[in-house]
Amino acid sequence: MTDRGFERIAFVASGADDAREARSKLAQRYGGVAVEDADVVVALGGDGMMLLTLHDLMGRNVPIYGMNRGSVGFLMNDFSEDDLPERLAAAERTVIHPLTMRARDRDNQVHVAKAINEVQLWRQTYQAAKLKIEVDGKPRLGELVCDGVLVATPTGSTAYNLSAHGPLLPLASPLLAMTPISPFRPRRWRGALLPDRAAVAIDVLEPEKRPVAAVADNTEFRDIKRVEIALDRKTNLVMLHDPGHGLDERILAEQFGW
């Protein structure tokens, strides 16, 4: 048993052969319990597996220690079969909060989903989307013509947000990144940094002619006419990283091209 009380370890793996093989070897070496009985969950795979595990454990406050058996692994620790209890005991905790997305479709059905990385709106057809953006009830952009727009957490700022030329956010920063995807009008608008207490509302203009989907991480709803986004401070998600390799360090290193 470690100093933190991580006596009961659950191992979960993606469908990749390397991940499943690692789970088998680790469970044989260290034992393993069901996820619902665990003090800590070790996730084996890539960043997609970490996000899936965070979603599966949302609201349970069980720490997750990821080891990279995937392709990217930005959120993961290096893989090793050795010294797992010691690594868990020494690991640094990172607590993050998800976004809550409330999306209303053209039939006035409301869909609710959580996002650890980002909430995005994306055009469904060849027609560009037309969007109106409000922050805390105040109109900020009357018409954005674009492929889409996203709102990213600091954790998610390194993912799709970065690929869309959005800013990288230090993990502890009280900010959200709003980033347009292929903006056409206004052409020079490159997004905004918002306080993480902000309530964002995005209305879809001409939703019948220009249908838009709303996506919270990997949960998608189509034919949306309005989306409301806010940070869920009541939900804590805990990730564990080896000392010196936490998300703060990785985000800082990413800004200098590592």
Ligand-binding site membership of 47 (annotated): yes
Ligand-binding site membership of 257 (annotated): no
Q: Which of 39, 47, 56, 223 is catalytic?
A: 47
C-alpha closest to that of 85 among 197, 193, 203, 6: 6
Question: What is the distance between the alpha carbons of residues 233 and 151, in angstroms, rounded to a whole number?
Answer: 16
Ligand-binding site membership of 65 (annotated): no
Residue 84 token pair: 């797992």
Supply the DSSP string of 160-171, one letter for each residue. Answer: HHHHTTPPP--T
User: Is 47 a known active-site residue?
Assistant: yes
Question: What is the distance between the alpha carbons of residues 124 and 112, in angstroms, rounded to a whole number?
Answer: 20
Asked if residues 65 and 38 have their Cβ atoms less than 8 Å apart, the reply is no
Ligand-binding site membership of 117 (annotated): yes
Asked if residues 42 and 10 have their Cβ atoms less than 8 Å apart, the reply is yes
Question: What is the distance between the alpha carbons of residues 118 and 192, in angstroms, rounded to a whole number?
Answer: 14
Ligand-binding site membership of 27 (annotated): no
Say whether 240 sits in a helix, a strand or coil: strand
Ligand-binding site membership of 147 (annotated): yes
- Parallel/antiparallel/unpaired status of strands 129-135 and 200-205: antiparallel
Ligand-binding site membership of 61 (annotated): no
> What does the angle CA 60 – CA 9 – CA 72 come to, to the nearest 5 degrees?
80
Active site residues: 47
Provide the annotated binding site.
47-48, 117-118, 147, 158-163
Provide the annotated binding site for NAD(+).
47-48, 117-118, 147, 158-163
